[in-house]
Structure 1
Amino acid sequence: MSDKLTHECGIAMVRLKQPLQYYQEKYGTPLWGFTKLFLLMEKQHNRGQDGAGVACVKHDVPAGEPFMFRERCVKSDPLAKIFKRLLGEYNKLVDKGDAHPEFAKTVKEQFDFGGELLLGHLRYGTSGGYNMSSCHPFFRRSPWPTRNLALCGNFNLTNTSELNRNLIAMGQHPIFATDTQALLEKVGFFLDEEHEDIYRDLRAKKLPGREISAQISRDLDLHRVISRAGEKWDGGYVLAGAVGNGDAFIVRDPSGIRPAFYYEDDEVFAVASERAPLMTVFDAELETVEEMTPGHVMVIKKNGEVTSKPFREPLPRTSCSFERIYFSRGNDIDIYRERKALGARLADQVIESVDHNWGDSVFSFIPNTAEIAYYGLVSALRERRRTEVKDEILRASQAGELTEEHLDNLILRNWPRSEKVISKDIKLRTFIGQEGLRNHLASHVYDIAYGSVVAGKDNLVCVDDSIVRGTTLRKSILRILTRLNPRKIIVVSTAPQIRYPDCYGIDMSEIGKFIAFEAAVLLIKETGQEELLADVYRLCREAVAKGESVNHVKKIYDRFTPEEISARISRIVYPTNVDWAGDVEVIYQTVENLHAAVPNHSGDWYFTGNFPTAGGYRVVNQAYINYFEKSTARSY
């Protein structure tokens, strides 16, 4: 994606099923689980660079000794900094003789992260800022192990304000910082109630005080806790939690919007936001990594028992298609195939755009997540060209026109050409405060391969995975590409036009920043239909006030075809103040082709405006209200 887009977080959990000494004897280190957590997080580094955090729960710690630990960082390269510091502490303990790796018991006693239950989080900030206070995992502490809670997640809720009001109604004093804090307090409240219910029952049975804590731990029903806490959650979410007694849980939203996968054998139970990292880290076969069932909570008790039960009524499955287009790494076998299919399904539009001029067309991609789709497009084009050549050879042969010169021109000089035309050179540092200077530096983020295009003759086709705001196209990429002086620049998006805000994980809440929306509004104004903008504003206000699940913003787009909006986008991004007179065309994937290429992830609300929950409709209408009122407030 050429535009910077903050988005999904990543989670990781490693729950060891054997004593630490087992891993020391089999793998030569008592930190086997700790290193697996780091690898799971590193393999999901694409899911968050704004911050990272890890937590650990140790089993069977003597009274008076700490049993839960946490480390977080929001500096640059946070994951590396966390593990470097923790491993540095471990090595100091070993060097001083306080911990002996061959005796895992000493590692567990001395090293904070020498425990059986490990939790990790990679953060992309969508709300709550970028400081330490909004970095997961969140902690809730108590002298009772079963009331201690560490929580992290990959989610956005559409109704955080409502949840906070509920907390106030319960008598709490929530801090209005993030939806994570609201969830922590909500889960914590019902965790406390579960604890108190069991405690009162055991006291009534006159169970000795020393045995009460252990019995509460055995009886604690985290499925019931989550069912009560999550009754009114609206959004896309995967939550991972660790309780101080050693129990753990994973929760996935009823629509399956956010992804979660798990792997289990007799040594470990592990969870991650993507499937491929689990396969790589644990050398697991494809069929042994399972997808978590939407609307379920998986509970891992301290004794190792794993259960999965529904906690909410199921909703139609609408898994996020952006996960497949962009967010997840492309080394998952299914995602790799889907991205190639997305590229291949653009072939017809591209062929029409270059007017079947194979020999004078150069194909490339805008790094780096579009590369796989680019391979799919080029493969489809070459297959199409082979069919054309075959048909022409048969025709010419039957007509007696097949000559060496004809073959030469037909086959050797008229094929799609692939070049690495553009590459990312440097990353603009955010400490540059002045906007003009930032924009000037941004124009040099990308480099081009001079001479890769025949000036004034070649079409240049560049594949991008998605075009959200078009900012980088306007201010950087297209201006740079004009230096090659192609006859025409064609930017091809493997995703359809992004028209509506996402409120389930992606930081796309300001509808006025979407280039598709900008183009539609310009078309409305240019065709004398401005009264529609005020009409939609009035309808959106009424819908928000009444709590209606209807998307009135669709009316902005309904007056025009997707092709008309794409043509207007092409005019918007056309580079100005450059010495170039070629054409620019922006091509988008169709929604129909998206679903054909990615059949099992039907979540498409950012393209179609069909939201899977009531909160989504409230958000889209509020986003338009904010736009019309020129407010920069978040719509959720």
Structure 2
Amino acid sequence: MSDFLKHECGIAAVRLRKPLAYYYDRYGTCLWGLNKLFLLMEKQHNRGQDGTGIGCVKLDMPIGQPYVHRRRGIEKDALAQIFRKEIKSFSKMARKGIMDQNDPSSVKKNFDFGGEILLGHLRYGTSGEFDEGSCHPYLRRSNWPTRTLMVMGNFNMTNAAALNQVLIERGQHPVFGTDTQTVLEEIGYHLDEHHTDLYRQLRDAGVPGDQMPPKISEALDVARLVAESASAWDGGYTICGAVGNGDMFVMRDPRGIRPCHMLITDEVVAFASERVPLMTVFEAEVDQVKAVDPGSIITIKSDGTISDAVFAPPQKYTPCSFEKIYFSRGNDPQIYRERKAMGAALVSQVVASINGAFDKTVFSFIPNTAETAYHGLMDGLRLYRRQEVRASILKAVEEGNLTPDLVDDLILRNWPCGEKVAHKDIKLRTFISQEKGRDQLVSHVYDITYGVVKPGDYLVALDDSIVRGTTLKKSILKILARTKPSKIVVCSTAPQIRYPDCYGIDMSELGKFIAFQAAVALHRRAGRHALLDQVYEDCRAELQKPAAERTNRVCAIYDAFTDEEISAEISRMVYPEKIEWDGEVEVIFQSIENLRASIKGPSGDWYFTGNYPTAGGFSMVNAAYIRWHEGVSGRSYDLPL
């Protein structure tokens, strides 16, 4: 993705099903669980590099000994640093005789992460100031293990402001600026209420105080209290939590917007945002890893009992399609096939753009995430040419004029040519603050392979999506133009991104989308300023309705134009400035129909179509237009709607 997005955090969780001694005897280390957690996180490092956190809950710890531990960090390469520090601490305690690293009971007692429940989180900060305190997991401490709560997740709540207001009306003092705190306090509130009810029942029944903790722990209904907490949530989420007594839960939103996968073996129950890390880390087959069902909560009691309950009524399944297009690693077998299909689906548009001139076209991709789709595009182009060649040969045979020269012309001189033209210098940092100097640096984020594109050729470059168009204009097209092609065709495997997201991706400001800018420019050029003002008034009126009755009034901005008209305007807008090149630029986008055909099963596409899966989405998109029209920046769901 040339327009870098911060997005979609990653979770990893490991719940050991055997005592630590089992893993030491079988694998020669008491840190088997911690090692697996690190690997799960490392293989999902693509999902978050702004901050990292790990947590541990130990089962059946004697009174007086700590049972919950947490580490968080925002340093560069925080994931490796946190684990490196913990392993260093482990070795230091062993070296000084504080702990016997070959004695599982000694490790559990002395090493903070020598426990049975291990949680890990990779975070991208999507707004505001970002520091270590914003990293997951969040922790709510109590001197009652059954009231101590640790929570982390991959989520965004569209109604965080309203949820905070509920906390205020209860008399609480929420910390604004993060919906994670809201979720923690909401679950914590219901945990406190549930705990208090159990305590009073036992007290009134005459149960002695020292016998209450195990009875409360046994009776604690985590699934019920979390379901009560989630009743008002509007958003996309995968949330994982652990109670201090050793109860653990993982839940997924009712529409399956955010991903979550689970593996259960005799040794471990493990969760991750992506499927392949679980397969690789635990050497599992693809059919052993299951997706957590939307609207369900998996609970693991402290005694190891596993249950799967429904916490919300079934809703239309709308998993985020950007998981398939960009976010998830492409080594998942299904995602790999789907990304190739997205590339192949562009063939007819590409052939039309180059007028079928394969002999003077070089096909390439924008590194690195578009590479899989590029292979699909090349497969599709070769299939297209094979069909053309076959038809031509059959016709020549029928007419009796098949010659070696004709075969050479059909195949050897007119076959799709693929080259790696663009290279990304990942470590180049645009640290110069002055705009002119910064633009010069941005223009050199990419480099090219010289000599593979001849002057006058067509150059087709595949990208997985185009969001803002800034990098395309200031960097990619400038560097590609140095090859002196007669035309550069930039293809996006994703459709035009027209609407903001409010479920976890950092693309919430409507005015930053190149598709929106293009539509507005077309209206203004046609003198339709009144329509822009009318949509503003319509959006304001829409927000006066009950949340469940709101619709997307921003669609009117796009209704007057075809996809091709907006694409043509985008092509004009991203044309690089101040370069010695007079070639043509054309930007091609995937159609919604082809995207849906490429992805197996249902998918959410609200950022393309404006069809949001929750009421909060419709509220947010109208608010986003209002903020744009008023010249106000920032996320539209940070304010009450």
Whether these two folds match at TM > 0.5 is yes
Gaps of 5+ in 1: none
**Is the contact made by 1:134 and 1:177 (CA closer than 8 Å) also made in structure 2?**
no
Partner of 1:580: 581
Q: Distance in 2 between matches of 1:430 and 1:408?
A: 49
**Is the contact made by 1:24 and 1:101 (CA closer than 8 Å) also made in structure 2?**
no
Q: Distance in 2 between matches of 1:579 and 1:344?
A: 33
Partner of 1:549: 550
Q: CA deviation at 1:431?
A: 4.5
Partner of 1:9: 9
Matched position secondary structure for 1:378: helix
Q: Distance in 2 between matches of 1:623 and 1:503?
A: 10
Which amino acid is the alignment partner of residue 464 of structure 1?
Answer: D
Partner of 2:480: 481
Q: Distance in 1 between matches of 2:83 and 2:61?
A: 23
Partner of 2:529: 530
Partner of 1:396: 396
Partner of 1:305: 305
Matched position secondary structure for 2:543: helix
Q: Are 1:268 and 2:274 an aligned pair? A: no
Q: Are 1:609 and 2:604 an aligned pair? A: no
Matched position secondary structure for 2:359: coil
Q: Distance in 1 between matches of 2:17 and 2:127?
A: 36
**Is the contact made by 1:127 and 1:178 (CA closer than 8 Å) also made in structure 2?**
no
**Is the contact made by 1:56 and 1:113 (CA closer than 8 Å) also made in structure 2?**
yes
**Is the contact made by 2:150 and 2:242 (CA closer than 8 Å) also made in structure 1?**
yes
Matched position secondary structure for 1:584: strand
Q: Distance in 1 between matches of 2:428 and 2:540?
A: 39
**Is the contact made by 2:430 and 2:442 (CA closer than 8 Å) also made in structure 1?**
no
User: Which stretch shows the higher mean deviation, 100-109 or 82-91?
Assistant: 100-109
**Is the contact made by 2:443 and 2:474 (CA closer than 8 Å) also made in structure 1?**
yes
Q: Distance in 2 between matches of 1:132 and 1:265?
A: 34
Gaps of 5+ in 2: none
**Is the contact made by 1:493 and 1:588 (CA closer than 8 Å) also made in structure 2?**
yes
Q: Are 1:369 and 2:369 an aligned pair? A: yes
How do 1:121-520 residues align onto structure 2 when only pairs under 5 Å count? 121-429=121-429, 431-456=431-456, 458-520=457-519
Q: Distance in 2 between matches of 1:177 and 1:611?
A: 24
Q: Distance in 2 between matches of 1:323 and 1:609?
A: 18
Q: Distance in 2 between matches of 1:588 and 1:68?
A: 50
Q: CA deviation at 1:437?
A: 2.4
How do 1:100-119 residues align onto structure 2 when only pairs under 5 Å count? 100-119=100-119
**Is the contact made by 1:128 and 1:134 (CA closer than 8 Å) also made in structure 2?**
no
Q: Distance in 1 between matches of 2:59 and 2:504?
A: 33
Q: Distance in 1 between matches of 2:27 and 2:165?
A: 50
Q: CA deviation at 1:435?
A: 3.1
Q: CA deviation at 1:128?
A: 4.7
Q: Distance in 1 between matches of 2:163 and 2:128?
A: 16
Which amino acid is the alignment partner of residue 77 of structure 2?
Answer: D
Matched position secondary structure for 1:480: helix
Q: CA deviation at 1:430?
A: 5.8
1:287-315: CA deviation from partner (whole Å, max 9, x where unpaired): 11011010111111011111111111221
**Is the contact made by 1:128 and 1:178 (CA closer than 8 Å) also made in structure 2?**
no
- How many percent identity over aligned positions? 58
1:382-405: CA deviation from partner (whole Å, max 9, x where unpaired): 011011111111111222211121
Which amino acid is the alignment partner of residue 474 of structure 2?
Answer: K
Q: CA deviation at 1:251?
A: 1.2
Partner of 1:598: 599
Q: TM-score, normalised by structure 2?
A: 0.98
Partner of 2:18: 18
Q: Distance in 2 between matches of 1:71 and 1:432?
A: 33
RMSD value over aligned CA atoms? 1.0
**Is the contact made by 2:431 and 2:438 (CA closer than 8 Å) also made in structure 1?**
no
Q: CA deviation at 1:576?
A: 1.7
1:109-149: CA deviation from partner (whole Å, max 9, x where unpaired): 11100000000000011235321111110010000001111
Q: TM-score, normalised by structure 1?
A: 0.99
Q: Distance in 2 between matches of 1:601 and 1:281?
A: 28
Which amino acid is the alignment partner of residue 509 of structure 1?
Answer: S
Q: Distance in 2 between matches of 1:427 and 1:624?
A: 36
**Is the contact made by 2:240 and 2:251 (CA closer than 8 Å) also made in structure 1?**
yes
Matched position secondary structure for 1:130: coil
Matched position secondary structure for 2:544: helix
Q: Distance in 1 between matches of 2:477 and 2:129?
A: 32
**Is the contact made by 1:145 and 1:243 (CA closer than 8 Å) also made in structure 2?**
yes
Matched position secondary structure for 1:545: coil
Q: CA deviation at 1:429?
A: 2.8
**Is the contact made by 2:8 and 2:505 (CA closer than 8 Å) also made in structure 1?**
yes
Q: Distance in 2 between matches of 1:573 and 1:325?
A: 22
**Is the contact made by 2:326 and 2:464 (CA closer than 8 Å) also made in structure 1?**
yes
Which amino acid is the alignment partner of residue 227 of structure 1?
Answer: A
Which amino acid is the alignment partner of residue 231 of structure 2?
Answer: E
Q: Distance in 2 between matches of 1:3 and 1:129?
A: 22
Matched position secondary structure for 2:53: strand
Q: Distance in 1 between matches of 2:210 and 2:430?
A: 55
Q: CA deviation at 1:98?
A: 2.2
Matched position secondary structure for 2:151: strand
**Is the contact made by 1:53 and 1:120 (CA closer than 8 Å) also made in structure 2?**
yes
Q: Distance in 2 between matches of 1:46 and 1:207?
A: 51
Q: Distance in 2 between matches of 1:215 and 1:430?
A: 58
Q: Distance in 2 between matches of 1:472 and 1:57?
A: 44
Q: CA deviation at 1:440?
A: 1.6
User: Which stretch shows the higher mean deviation, 393-402 or 245-254?
Assistant: 393-402
Q: Distance in 1 between matches of 2:216 and 2:462?
A: 57
Which amino acid is the alignment partner of residue 564 of structure 1?
Answer: E
**Count of residue pairs brought into register by the alignment:** 635
Q: Distance in 2 between matches of 1:194 and 1:499?
A: 44
